[in-house]
């Protein structure tokens, strides 16, 4: 079996602290199974970074990190990654900006990653690059004469050509993606958007049902690989957490009230201001719920150096204060709004205790909280998932109540429906979603991607359910023009 090298902007060492994001969960699951190297930024800035990666070995994984210079990091990460690519990929053109020096820093950091990764490469290695921070990396590795398979997975949405073309160098970005052997997306919508950009950039003409498009000598395959959760781990953690002191104290504090929960990184793409407004409308429209429900919103801070994130934090604090001031009683606070991290196990306990989960992003790649909520629930008395159709998870979780996050009235009605749903209907809806989450878990995700990339089976294949969306190798193949290996 070939050695796997995973590369991401930042790495996560296994530890019992804050819950890791979907990228970290996926990469760790793959490397624990296959062994190999995880390379990325250390999380530290340094005016004189070391010339060689720092390597730490734990079990069968080598964690290799590098520092970045402060000025370079700010322009690369806060600038191009999170003020240019992130808003555009999430369909927020009003928050998008393009500065040439930030683009140059993005290229420079990717060049640094490529040079440092090549110091770790051994013959026969397979490289798997993750997310929007490192789109040029495949091209740069080819320029440094890496000849093994290189895959790329995008954890966030990919925009349609009519949006991406706002980026002055969008053709360059799309061309860079065509230097990979396999490009993976979260949903069919993202795949179609990618093909629209390939066509708009003049790189290829993609037939509607094409399995292979021949334009040049280099082949790039593109497919849909919806990321999952570690089902058995989530279920076990949720059950165990119910006896934890922190979870028990939270449950006791409810005093018999029904818990509505939201768990999101603090980001404007998560629809949090819309969610707070919908909860306020729910309390107005269905006043019989006042004093009988508690909405717990957990939103750890992120990217605090970017103005847009400090603005949304201020807005949410003001909304929570106003709603609580309007509706609270001496013994009841409608919204509990927390900007802090919890361990993954504790979060799973909170999800299990909830009667309703609000997962209502205005745009999201997948959203694993939706799948974790399903896995964490008690099948005998499950809660109800309210899910935005703008989340990639909506395609698989058809048992959820789907509601547009901008539809304040619709979200209020969905909350009322969820809180009053009969047990038998809750069980039926949960069973459908449970099967989907169990079938396409995190091991199925990395196993199918790596099998399609390398031809080696990494985990036992799970057959698709009748009528399920096509994923993996059956998706169209794209041949790109004019890019030698």
- Residue of 154, 282, 317 lying closest to 223 (CA atoms): 154
Instruction: Report the DSSP beta bridge partners of residue 130.
Output: 153
| Token couple for 219 | 């082949």
Phi, psi of 463 (to 5 degrees): -65, 145
Spatial neighbors of 173 by CB under 8 A, at least 6 apart, are 135, 164, 167
- pTM listed for this prediction: 0.92
CB 464 within 8 A of CB 395: no
Instruction: Report the DSSP beta bridge partners of residue 359.
Output: 387
Helical H segments across 377-457, by residue range: 408-419, 423-439, 442-454
**Residues 134, 110: Cα–Cα separation, whole Å:** 6
- Residue of 3, 5, 80 lying closest to 40 (CA atoms): 5
**Residues 158, 88: Cα–Cα separation, whole Å:** 9
CB 57 within 8 A of CB 33: no
Note if 245 is an active site residue.
no
Q: What is the DSSP letter of 473?
A: G
**Annotated catalytic residue, options 125, 131, 267, 364:** 364
Note if 74 is an active site residue.
no
Question: What does the pLDDT look like over 288-318, one tens digit per residue?
Answer: 999 999 999 999 887 656 667 888 999 999 9
Query: Mean pLDDT of residues grouped by 10 in the chain (485 residues)?
Result: 92 66 87 94 93 94 96 94 97 96 98 98 96 98 96 98 96 94 95 92 76 60 95 96 97 97 95 98 98 96 71 94 97 96 95 98 96 98 98 97 98 98 98 97 96 77 41 45 37
Owner of token pair 């998560």: 270
Per-residue confidence (pLDDT) for residue 15, from 0 to 100: 63
Per-residue confidence (pLDDT) for residue 301, from 0 to 100: 82
Instruction: Count Cα atoms within 13 angstroms, Cβ side, for 152.
Output: 24
**Annotated catalytic residue, options 90, 155, 179, 402:** 155
Q: What are the helix and strand counts (H, E) for the chain?
A: 17, 16
CB 454 within 8 A of CB 2: yes
Residue 315 Cα distances to 262, 277, 310, 318, angstroms? 17, 11, 9, 5
Q: In the chain, what are the domains?
A: 4-228+442-480 (3.40.50.2000), 231-439 (3.40.50.2000)
Per-residue confidence (pLDDT) for residue 474, from 0 to 100: 41
SS3 assignment for 386-407: EECCCCHHHHCCCCCEECCCCC
What is the end-to-end Cα distance of the chain in Å, rounded? 23
């Amino acid at each position: 079996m070939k050695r796997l090298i995973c590369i991401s902007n930042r790495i996560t060492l296994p530890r019992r602290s804050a819950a890791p994001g979907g990228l970290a969960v996926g990469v760790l699951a793959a490397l624990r199974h296959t062994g190999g190297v995880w390379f990325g930024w250390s999380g530290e800035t340094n005016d004189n970074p070391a010339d060689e990666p720092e390597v730490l070995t734990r079990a069968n994984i080598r964690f290799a990190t590098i520092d970045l210079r402060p000025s370079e990091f700010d322009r690369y990460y806060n600038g191009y990654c999170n003020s240019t690519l992130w808003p555009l990929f999430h369909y927020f053109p009003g928050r998008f900006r393009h500065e040439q020096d930030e683009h140059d820093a993005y290229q420079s950091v990717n060049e640094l990653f490529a040079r440092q990764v090549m110091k770790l490469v051994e013959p026969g290695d397979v490289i798997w690059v993750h997310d929007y921070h490192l789109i040029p990396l495949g091209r740069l590795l080819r320029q440094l004469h890496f000849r093994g398979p290189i895959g790329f997975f995008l954890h966030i949405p990919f925009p349609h050509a009519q949006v991406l073309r706002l980026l002055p160098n969008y053709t360059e970005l799309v061309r860079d993606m065509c230097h990979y052997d396999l490009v993976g997306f979260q949903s069919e919508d993202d795949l179609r958007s990618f093909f629209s950009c390939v066509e708009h950039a003049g790189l290829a003409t993609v037939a509607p049902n094409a399995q292979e498009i021949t334009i040049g000598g280099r082949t790039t395959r593109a497919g849909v690989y919806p990321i999952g959760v570690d089902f058995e781990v989530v279920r076990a953690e949720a059950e165990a957490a119910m006896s934890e002191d922190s979870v028990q104290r939270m449950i006791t504090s409810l005093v018999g009230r029904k818990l509505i929960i939201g768990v999101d990184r603090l980001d404007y793409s998560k629809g949090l201001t819309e969610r707070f407004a919908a909860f306020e409308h729910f309390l107005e429209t269905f006043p019989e719920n006042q004093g009988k429900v508690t909405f717990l919103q957990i939103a750890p801070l992120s990217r605090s150096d970017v103005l847009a994130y400090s603005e949304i934090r201020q807005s949410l604090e003001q909304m929570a204060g106003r709603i609580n001031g309007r509706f609270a009683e001496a013994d009841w606070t409608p919204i509990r709004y927390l900007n802090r991290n919890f361990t993954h196990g504790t979060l799973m306990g909170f999800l299990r205790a909830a009667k309703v989960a609000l997962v209502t992003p205005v745009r999201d790649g997948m959203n694993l909280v939706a799948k974790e909520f399903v896995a964490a629930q008690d099948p005998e008395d499950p809660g109800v998932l309210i899910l935005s159709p703008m989340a990639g998870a909506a395609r698989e979780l058809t048992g959820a109540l789907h509601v547009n996050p901008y539809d304040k009235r619709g979200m209020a009605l969905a909350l009322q429906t969820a809180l009053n749903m009969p047990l038998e209907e809750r069980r039926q809806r949960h069973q459908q979603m449970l099967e989907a989450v169990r079938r396409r878990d995190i091991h199925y995700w990395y196993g199918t991607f790596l099998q399609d990339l390398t031809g080696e089976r990494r985990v036992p294949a799970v057959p698709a359910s009748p009528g399920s969306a096509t994923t993996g190798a059956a998706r169209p193949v794209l041949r790109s023009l004019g890019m030698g290996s």
